[in-house]
A and B are shown apart, each in its own frame.
Chain A
């Protein structure tokens, strides 16, 4: 069923009795041309672009839990392309362009809202580095605008501009950035892929890889063996665990990142705001809750929950820039497992095992990358060569010393 204003009116007038399931629930076949392990945002996007842009057929997505149960349903929904490095910025800009046409592509309301992101700066040196980053963005076709304090005051009068420790001097604005409804992204991609014949198989746990003479020929699952021409793995926080079954050790550590939501408030925060002196980012959801987060906890974790010291640190960051949120009550907080890479940038590449491909290392920036990650992984799976915006996101870049280290923190995953 194609969604439109007419289908909505039609259903409304007929008592909403004729809606059909959003995707099928097929039993797995014994062979597929391409099997994607991991039914998160990236896996579903990969399947969708394989079917829609690369004309591939006979594709399955295997998901251990249910669609929307992982990081795609646990993030802070921010979409942006404000990166500095050559290897990253074209990739994220490609992603933002896909976000802009996503709802038409998948015929699903993802509530994409380009409400802008402002990175605050608190010193002259930081302003200069933001000028550099803004220029790098514009050179790659993204938009960036430097705001001085007066311009910022007219947009956001509520900041603590005269904060004694971290005075707010201005910000770097990307107007095309914004937020999207994360669950809708998962459901929309799943539905669009399903409509193009992709089998989405939930509760299907991959227990082993079939590897013969260095060639991967399929997977073993709790629903039986599935042979496949190519296998793509996009399992985020579980990457090390899954790839260990194929005998690979990776430049990845799993860490927990927490997110927080307050009670619903009237509209107070116009877009996405990030603190430049600590680590804090905030936006307001359409329901009115303030959605915010900060650093990862810093220790390896698979627990999907964090600890209180980070909670306190994040809230202190918020209070330093906007004391007005101090009396808002927290409703919920939760954690997701991040596949932190050794340089803070992702990997979309072949592995040393033939026909086995890897999409991982998203650190805590995976949501914004969802469309481009899917497109580039689909390109790699279909054509056996990297997409032109993902040529530097290689697995062997650590050995070659060709790191993509936005933050300059070195091989220390918990600092990225």
Chain B
């Protein structure tokens, strides 16, 4: 299999390791009331489709980036490749957009405060995963 890396071009899949379903990006909120069920779903249950499958690959023998690869599990054809960080950021922006209109104007400062709190923790988690 050849994985077309967004920065490095076509690379042999043997340079990569695979983690699994790309849904692993969407870590549930541990403070939610249904966190137990959500983490059970997140950790153990899989769609496991025959056909297109989005999955996380790590370029271990290369630039050590995480990629989201869309691949056909029936033919092994790689359909699309994107940086996992881009996809995570896009997802974050989407949820921010969704929640933004609900909030009233004066809460701007509160949102600003909340963001810097979140990012260092997530960066640390990403680092832990990478090493």
Q: How far is B48's CA from A174's CA once the two chains are assembled, in angstroms?
A: 36
A254 to B43, CA, bound (A): 16
Q: Are A249 and B13 in contact (CB under 8 A)?
A: no
Least CB separation from B51: chain A residue: A302
Interface centre among B1, B19, B48, B76 (most CB of A within 10 A): B48
Query: With A307-B13, A414-B20 in contact, is A300–B75 under 8 Å at CB?
Result: no
Q: Give the nearest-CB partner of A399 in chain B.
A: B40
Within 8 A of A (CB), among B83-111: none
User: Quick check: is B53 within 8 A (CB to CB) of the other chain?
Assistant: yes
Tell me, rounded to whole Å, the shortest Cβ–Cβ distance linking A175 to chain B: 38
**Bound CA–CA A298/B47 (angstroms):** 17
In the complex, A250→B40 CA distance in Å?
Answer: 11
Contact with A along B59-91 (1 / 0, CB 8 A): 000000000000101111000000000000000
Q: How many chain-B residues does the 8 Å CB contact rule pick out?
A: 26
Give the complex CA separation of A252 and B40 in angstroms. Answer: 13
- Shortest C-beta distance, A64 to chain B (Å), equals 13
In the complex, A265 has a CB within 8 A of chain B: no
Residue of B nearest to A306 (CB): B76
Decide yes or no: A249 and B18 within 8 Å by CB, A299-B55, A302-B73, A399-B40 being known contacts. Answer: no
CB-CB < 8 A to A241: which residues of B? Answer: 48-50
Q: For A342, what are the chain B residues with a Cβ–Cβ distance below 8 Å?
A: 43-44
What is the chain A residue whose CB lies nearest that of B15?
A309
Please count how many residues in chain A sit with their CB below 8 Å of the partner chain's CB atoms: 24
- Interchain pairs with CB closer than 8 A, number: 71
Neighbour of B18 across the interface among A240, A250, A299, CB < 8 A: A299
Q: Find out whether the CB atom of A251 lies under 8 angstroms from the CB atom of B73.
A: no
Q: How far is the CA of A278 from the CA of B84 in the complex (A)?
A: 31
B32 at the interface (CB under 8 A from A): no
Confirm or deny: A382 has a beta carbon within 8 angstroms of a beta carbon on chain B: no
Known: A298-B18, A300-B53. A252 touches B74 (CB 8 A): no
Interface members, chain A 214-271 (any B CB < 8 Å):
240-241, 244, 249-254
- Interface assignment of A413: CB less than 8 Å from any CB of chain B: yes
Expressed in whole angstroms, the minimum distance between the Cβ of A236 and any Cβ of chain B is 13
The smallest C-beta distance from A256 to any residue of chain B, in angstroms, reads 9
Nearest CB in chain A: distance from B54 CB, A: 10
Q: Contacts A250-B45, A342-B44; is A413 near B20 (CB within 8 Å)?
A: yes
Q: Is the CB of B48 within 8 A of A252?
A: yes
A84 to chain B minimum Cβ distance, whole angstroms, is 22
For residue A303, CB closer than 8 A to chain B, the reply is: yes
Restricting to B4-21, which residues have a CB under 8 Å from any CB of A?
12-14, 17-21
Quick check: B73 and A300 within 8 Å, CB to CB?
A: yes
Given the complex, which residues of B lie within 8 Å of A307, measured CB to CB?
A: 1, 13, 76
Assembled-state Cα–Cα distance A250/B49 (Å): 11
Tell me whether A195 is interfacial, beta carbon within 8 Å: no
Residue of B nearest to A304 (CB): B74
Distance, CA A413 to CA B49, complexed state (A)? 15
Docked Cα-Cα span, A252 to B47, in Å, equals: 9
Residues from chain B with Cβ under 8 Å of A244 in the complex:
47
Q: Does A319 interact with chain B (Cβ within 8 Å)?
A: no
Q: A307-B1, A412-B20 are known contacts. Are A301 and B45 too (CB-CB below 8 A)?
A: no
CB–CB B71/A398 < 8 A:
no
The complex places the Cα of A414 from the Cα of B73 at a distance, in Å, of 15
**Chain A residues near B (Cβ < 8 Å):** 240-241, 244, 249-254, 298-303, 307, 309, 342, 398-399, 411-414
Q: List 9 A-B contacts (CB under 8 A).
A: A250-B48, A253-B48, A254-B48, A298-B17, A300-B73, A309-B12, A342-B43, A399-B40, A412-B20
Contacts beyond the supplied A240-B48, A399-B44: 16 A-B pairs with Cβ under 8 Å: A240-B49, A241-B48, A244-B47, A249-B47, A251-B45, A253-B48, A254-B73, A298-B18, A299-B71, A300-B48, A300-B71, A300-B73, A302-B73, A307-B76, A309-B13, A309-B14
Closest 7 A/B residue pairs (Cβ)? A240-B48, A309-B14, A251-B44, A302-B50, A398-B44, A249-B45, A300-B73
